[in-house]
């Protein structure tokens, strides 16, 4: 996923945060831990707290307002108009009648009118427009789900980066405890004159190096947890991360939000295709007009302000469109097929992208864990023998510390592979849409 690739900025961000940790919100003394969050809870919180969720509410409001506009189409339309004109010539009879005077139509004319119209039959266009508005709302909601869904992989990746540091710190703390116990033994030997002070100093140096590693890990972990807290809507880092329990339950792909989006896009094209048939339907409406005019627009011989009225029905129909509807339908069919091709390409990409994840999860990491256990068992045996050899003066403390470091590194490798195994499964869960 492109959004996961964009997360490559984390190492660079961490180096910046480490150098300016005193200015980072929540840095310094860690906040007290109030609960422990699982990766599933973090994904759910990130989804719920995403500002993108507001887009669904906006889409609902827009759709409700547009549908109310459609409902008002059934109400009468009232238009008030006024007109004042002067014209260079007017109608007149070319004869004179001695018996009566023929009224002269004035060149300046005035009209004030009220037009009322009400639709009787619209061919069903409002029904289709309502469905279109509802589809637009559903499309906006589906697009939001697609955008928010990407957060699942981002949060999962961030969660396990922080978890690996958390688990690595525990291993180093255990190693430090072993070194401190060793220091007590060496100090006792130095006090008894059996060992040189150099041996104790070497152990102290190793403890200081371990403290350096722990401090660096704690800083990096705090930085990652601060970022994670922003994603899940927590004001501060007052939580710990839980190590996911291993599960052999099969993972089955759920319906990704992209599939729903493709389906709704195809329905939109089908609806537009159905609406093309409305062009074959006539439009009928009733209308009325009334007002005052000088002269009366329906009787020019009434030159004063006179009332007038007009009522009637009007219809419009376009029986021929010269093949436009047929060609438009073909265009919509092709657009729907284009969406289907995108859906198939998405499913192919998703399936191909998870093949390696399945192999890593079920083969690679399991084998690595078995090998790690064997390596740790052998190294622990070496350290036990080395400790005895140091006591007997056969091995130097430097060689012993080297073997102890190898044991610590083996345990760190084992913990890293354990976290990677859990991460591989949870990344699959995130990609497939499982809970």
CATH number at residue 81: 1.20.1600.10
Domain presence at residue 266? yes
- Domain range for 192: 30-87+103-432
Digit-by-digit pLDDT tens for the chain (435 residues) are 333 333 333 333 334 333 333 333 344 455 666 788 888 899 899 999 899 899 989 999 999 998 888 888 888 889 999 999 988 877 776 666 666 677 777 888 888 999 998 888 887 788 888 999 999 999 999 999 999 988 888 999 999 999 999 889 989 999 999 889 888 888 888 887 777 788 888 889 999 999 999 999 999 999 999 999 999 988 888 888 888 776 666 666 567 889 899 999 999 999 988 888 877 788 888 889 899 888 888 887 787 888 989 898 988 887 777 888 889 889 999 999 999 999 999 988 888 878 877 787 777 888 888 899 999 999 999 999 988 888 887 888 888 888 888 999 999 999 888 888 888 888 888 887 766
- Give 345's Cβ-side CA count (13 Å radius): 7
Question: Could you give the CA distance from residue 375 to residue 410 in angstroms, rounded to a whole number?
Answer: 7
Q: Please report whether residue 13 resides in a domain.
A: no
Query: So what's the pLDDT on residue 425?
Result: 84
Q: Residue 361 domain-assigned? A: yes
1 in a domain, yes or no? no
Task: Look at residue 17 in the predicted model and tell me its pLDDT.
Answer: 35
Q: Give the Cα separation of 426 and 3 in Å (integer).
A: 17
- Name the residue with tokens 């009332």: 307
Beta pairing, strands 239-241 & 35-37: parallel
CA distance linking residue 88 with residue 84, whole number of Å: 14
pLDDT value for 212: 94
Total of domains in the chain: 1
Give residue 247's pLDDT. 65
Whether 305 maps to a domain, the answer reads yes
Prediction pTM value: 0.71
Residue 96 lies in a domain: no
Q: Would 267 be classed as within a structural domain?
A: yes
3 occurs within a structural domain? no
Residue 250, Cβ neighbours under 10 Å: how many? 5
């Amino acid at each position: 996923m492109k959004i996961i690739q964009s997360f490559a900025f984390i190492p660079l961000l961490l180096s910046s945060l480490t150098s300016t940790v005193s200015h980072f919100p929540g840095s310094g003394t860690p906040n007290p831990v109030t609960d422990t969050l699982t990766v599933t809870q973090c994904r759910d919180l990130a989804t719920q707290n995403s500002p993108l969720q507001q887009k669904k509410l906006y889409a609902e409001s827009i759709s409700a307002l547009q549908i109310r506009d459609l409902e008002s189409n059934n109400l009468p339309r009232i238009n008030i108009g006024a007109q004042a004109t002067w014209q260079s010539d007017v109608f007149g009879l070319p004869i004179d009648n001695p018996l009566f005077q023929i009224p002269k139509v004035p060149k300046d004319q005035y009209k004030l009118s009220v037009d009322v119209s009400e639709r009787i039959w619209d061919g069903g266009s409002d029904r289709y427009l309502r469905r279109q508005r509802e589809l637009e709302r559903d499309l906006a909601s589906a697009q939001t789900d697609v955008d928010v869904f990407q957060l699942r992989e981002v949060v999962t990746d961030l969660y396990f980066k922080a978890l690996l540091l958390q688990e690595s710190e525990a291993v180093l703390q255990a190693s430090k405890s072993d070194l401190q116990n060793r220091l007590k033994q060496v100090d006792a030997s130095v006090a008894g004159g059996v060992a040189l002070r150099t041996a104790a100093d070497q152990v102290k140096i190793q403890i200081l190096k371990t403290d350096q590693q722990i401090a660096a890990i704690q800083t990096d972990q705090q930085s990652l947890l601060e970022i994670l807290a922003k994603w899940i809507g927590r004001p501060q880092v007052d939580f710990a991360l839980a190590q996911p329990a291993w599960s052999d339950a099969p993972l089955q792909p759920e319906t990704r939000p992209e599939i729903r989006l493709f389906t709704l896009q195809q329905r939109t094209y089908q609806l537009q295709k159905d609406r093309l048939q409305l062009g074959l339907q006539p439009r009928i409406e009733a209308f009325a007009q009334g007002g005052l005019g000088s002269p009366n627009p329906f009787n020019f011989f009434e030159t004063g302000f006179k009332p007038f009225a007009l009522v009637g029905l009007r219809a419009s129909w376009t029986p021929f469109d010269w093949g436009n509807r047929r060609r438009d339908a073909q265009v919509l069919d092709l657009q729907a097929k284009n969406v289907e091709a995108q859906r198939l390409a998405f499913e192919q990409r998703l399936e191909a992208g998870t093949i390696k994840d399945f192999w890593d999860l079920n083969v690679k990491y399991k084998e690595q864990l078995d090998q790690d256990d064997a390596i740790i068992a052998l190294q622990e045996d070496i350290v036990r023998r080395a400790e005895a050899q140091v006591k007997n003066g056969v091995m130097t403390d430097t060689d012993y510390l080297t073997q102890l470091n190898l044991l610590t590194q083996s345990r760190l490798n084992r913990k890293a592979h354990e976290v990677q195994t859990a991460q591989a499964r949870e990344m699959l869960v995130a990609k497939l849409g499982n809970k």
